[in-house]
Amino acid sequence: MKLEENKSLKDYLTMRLGGKARYFAEIQTKDDVVEAFQFAAAHQLKTFVIGGGSNTLADDEGFDGLVMHMCLKGRTILEDNADDIVIRYGAGEILDEVISESVDMHLTGIEAMSLIPGTIGAAPVQNVGAYGQDISQSFVELEAYDMHTRAFVTLSKEDCQFAYRASIFRGKDWGRYIIVSVTLRLQKGNPQPPFYKQVQARLDEKGITSYTPALIRETVIEIRKWKLPDPHYIPNSGSFFKNAIITKQKLAHLQEKYPTLKGFAMGNDTFKISTGWLIDQAGLKGASMYGMRVHDRNALVLTNVGAKSYHALAKAREDIIAEVNKQFGIKIVQEVLEMH
């Protein structure tokens, strides 16, 4: 295990902000995980795991502990059945490379998540998804190091308690597990309609009626490249806020004033609405503040166009939250994780 001290974090986080990690370790093997944990335990250090750094922020003070950069690679086919294939991936594998490979193998199940940045090991943490697919739909199990029991464990789909952009890893078991591999079951053959509205509309425009995983991936990439800034060129953390979950009564009240507002049923008389729409309606799409900018094509995305500190980002975030709450009575919630 390679261990460094006072390592700048901003080059590992796609928002390109943040201070230094007191200690920083590259994780290449399962043995590295154990060694890193033992080092942290011996020195009474808190820990944090990063993958691609696309959904994580560090404040200006950095992280007074051990940051583990998950770089554990590998792909293993566990089952090759008539209708599906089960594949185990090292947690450090880049998610979009996993998706590209699955499409080349003519497998379906994750192609609508094309171009989501980050690693596959981070995908279960917030149950990442896009355009009608999320990781839980193809998920079989994961292996993780349990820092409570100091042993590697296997967690099933039920164990992970997936929900909309949520799991035990963002809830009751935050900071307990270090994910080292993720196993997916991907279907052979072609994806079946209906597809997410924007994807279907783009397919219809092209007159496409025969669908393949490659076509869906290509279509999603076209949409994402138009709607979302590339973090390699414009620092950002992807969708900065979660879509809002509101009551049936609140939705009805909003629809009286905004009849075209769509709500998507989430169960228990709650509905998901677009936070991007809320930010746009609040007059903030394209707005610049403190060196941050609300993206002019997707108001869920906050880009760093000149900010030099996390403090600047925090001020922009609070202004956006306050303005949406003032206009709609809805307090939107940050999706991006923070190092604590």
How many domains are there within the chain?
3
Domain boundary among 20, 35, 70: 70
191 vs 212: CA distance, rounded Å = 6
Coil, helix or strand for 197?
helix
Spot the catalytic one: 75, 165, 170, 224. Answer: 165
332 vs 329: CA distance, rounded Å = 10
Average pLDDT over residues 46-54: 95
280 vs 296: CA distance, rounded Å = 9
Check if 335 is active-site: yes
Q: Is residue 184 a part of any domain in this protein?
A: yes
Residue 106 pLDDT > 90, yes or no? Answer: yes
- Give per-residue pLDDT as tens, 289-309: 999 999 999 999 999 999 999
**Strand 301-304 relative to strand 292-294: parallel, antiparallel, unpaired?**
antiparallel
CATH code of residue 143? 3.30.465.10
The token pair at 104 is 């080349």
pTM: 0.91
The token pair at 187 is 């279907």
Residue 71 pLDDT > 90, yes or no? Answer: yes
Domain that residue 37 falls in: 2-70
Q: Is residue 309 a part of any domain in this protein?
A: yes
Check if 165 is active-site: yes
CB 246 within 8 A of CB 285: no
State the amino acid at position 205 in one-letter form. Answer: E
Residue 94 pLDDT > 90, yes or no? Answer: yes
Residue 75 pLDDT > 90, yes or no? Answer: yes
Residue whose entry in the numeric block shows the structure tokens 């080349």: 104
Comparing CA positions, the residue from 324, 287, 283, 322 lying closest to residue 303 is: 287
- Give per-residue pLDDT as tens, 208-243: 888 999 999 999 999 999 999 999 999 999 999 999
- Give per-residue pLDDT as tens, 123-179: 999 999 999 999 999 999 999 999 999 999 999 999 999 998 899 999 899 999 999
CATH code of residue 286? 3.90.78.10
64 and 82: one domain? no
Q: In a 10 Å sphere around its CB, with 0-12 CB exposed, 13-18 middle and 19+ buried, how is residue 172 labelled?
A: exposed
* Ranges assigned E (strand) in 100-219: 107-108, 129-130, 133-134, 139-146, 151-156, 177-188
99 and 122: one domain? yes
Output the CA–CA distances (angstroms, integers) from residue 146 to 37, 113, 271, in the order listed: 10, 28, 35
31 and 113: one domain? no
Spot the catalytic one: 16, 143, 239, 317. Answer: 239
339 vs 320: CA distance, rounded Å = 21
**Strand 301-304 relative to strand 236-239: parallel, antiparallel, unpaired?**
antiparallel
184 and 96: one domain? yes
Check if 297 is active-site: no
Domain boundary among 23, 52, 70: 70
Comparing CA positions, the residue from 243, 264, 247 lying closest to residue 166 is: 243
Residue 325 has phi, psi (to 5 degrees) of -65, -40
Domain boundary among 23, 55, 70: 70
